[in-house]
Amino acid sequence: MDRSPPEARTSRRRLRACHECDWLVALPPLSGGEKADCPRCGHTLVTRHHSPAQRSMALALSALIALGLAVTFPFISFSVSGIGNRIELTQTATTLIGFHQPVVATAVILTIVVLPAVYLAGVIWLQLGLLREAPLPGSRGIARSLTHLHPWMMADVFIVGALVSLIKIAGMAQVELGIAFWAFCAFALLLLLTTQSLDADWMWFSLAGEPLAPEGVRTGEPAAPQGLTGCPTCGLVNRFDDTGHGSCRRCHERLHARLPHSQQRTWALLAASAVMYVPANLYPIMTTTSLGDRQPSTILGGIVELIQMGSWPVALVIFVASVIVPVGKLIALAWLCLVARRSSELNAATRTRLYRLTDFIGRWSMVDVFVVAILVALIRAGALLSILPGPAALAFGSVVVLTMLAAMSFDPRLLWDAPLPPRSAQGNAS
């Protein structure tokens, strides 16, 4: 298989329809280290890397080795008054099961271990086939899966949660960091570099080539009015049927001119997350037992305690992640749903940037859930000092997941569609 970039293997124009504004463009020739952005909204369409297969393969293998070390050796240990405890990384999830929190435990282990491991194994499988110049079985399905797995890997968020946990207990006990802690830090960094190193355009071209573009395509215009749409997975421009649906000719992903019932689904998920946000703040997220005295702590109560301890930076991190981000995301997505059909090209670019920010920051609210998982597993010294999970952990985790799904359900291309005509004009026309 030729490992040169697609531009060196074809003289035909390669078209892309922006996933955020639906603008149809022809990709320019790209060299390693260059990228192509949408001229209308600035969304990055393609990022070209030097030696993409070798680069991704090396990073994925390194990350997988670091993850193996992180789940093998001790993660964190603490001691107080001669009593201590030492945990491994996986115990941050398994301990929660013993406290009747299986849903939260499943979310923790999936986002920090299982899904990243599956993602890295998929990258290695794909790049190994490309380096052997013969794609391995199931490569197209695995390549599609990588796109869907990416938002749910939260190793970097878990590191922030671990640092917050250490600061919280530093004044109560002596803490020691194990080999696994540093290995997991390396893993989180390598995982981030692996996701950034994937050249999806080169990978899909190498796996399945690029079929001819539909006839009669006009670049420099929106794709949907031409009966076209870009595949959100492999980028190929396809023609959809009369119902506005279809499937990609290259990766077989389901296609839509616009996401079906985008605003209705977003509203429903926002309403559900708003309902769950109430118990997430009213009920305790954890209960601390110190010398037999039980002290339940809500999210806001924990922030106040950190301020009283003098940990202003940590309190600010928790306040932003647990209060500002969820509430801001609810308000931003609700506002985008309200103005979607009234948007114009003058303000659509600003609103699209707001959507990107909202979509990016949502996962960072999981910091509080990870703090609870770490503290519950680590602080287990009976009546002397122990921490139990509260019902708010499940409620707040649900808020994070629901708001992430809401952002995924919203179709930013609606912000660029022609606005609805005024009611007066509609009345005159009728």
List the chain pLDDT tens, one digit each, 430 residues. 446 677 666 667 789 999 999 999 999 888 888 899 999 999 999 999 888 889 999 999 999 999 999 999 999 988 877 777 888 999 999 999 988 899 999 999 999 999 999 999 999 999 999 888 888 899 999 999 999 999 999 999 999 999 988 888 876 778 889 999 999 999 999 999 999 999 899 999 988 888 888 888 899 999 999 999 999 999 999 998 877 788 999 999 999 889 999 999 999 999 999 999 999 999 999 888 776 678 888 888 888 887 887 778 888 888 998 899 999 999 999 999 999 877 777 788 899 999 999 999 889 989 999 999 998 998 876 667 788 899 999 999 999 999 999 999 999 999 998 664 444 333 333 3
Distances (CA, A) of 150 to 60, 75, 120, 137, 248: 14, 25, 11, 22, 20
Query: Which residue is listed with tokens 């006839």?
Result: 215
- Closest alpha carbon to 337 in 242, 250, 407: 407
Buried b (16+ CB within 10 A) or exposed e, 200-225: bbbbbbbbbebeebeeebeeeebbbe
How far is residue 103's CA from residue 90's CA, in Å, rounded to a whole number? 15
Note whether 170 and 137 are within 8 A (CB): no
The token pair at 98 is 């013993």
**Burial level of 247, CB count in 10 A (0-12/13-18/19+)?**
middle
- In 3-state terms, what secondary structure has residue 86? strand
Report pTM. Answer: 0.90
Spatial CB neighbours of 403, under 8 Å, sequence gap ≥ 6: 269, 270, 273, 326, 329, 330, 333, 362, 365
How far is residue 137's CA from residue 140's CA, in Å, rounded to a whole number? 8
The token pair at 412 is 């930013």
How far is residue 334's CA from residue 327's CA, in Å, rounded to a whole number? 11
Indicate the domain borders of the chain. 52-203+260-416
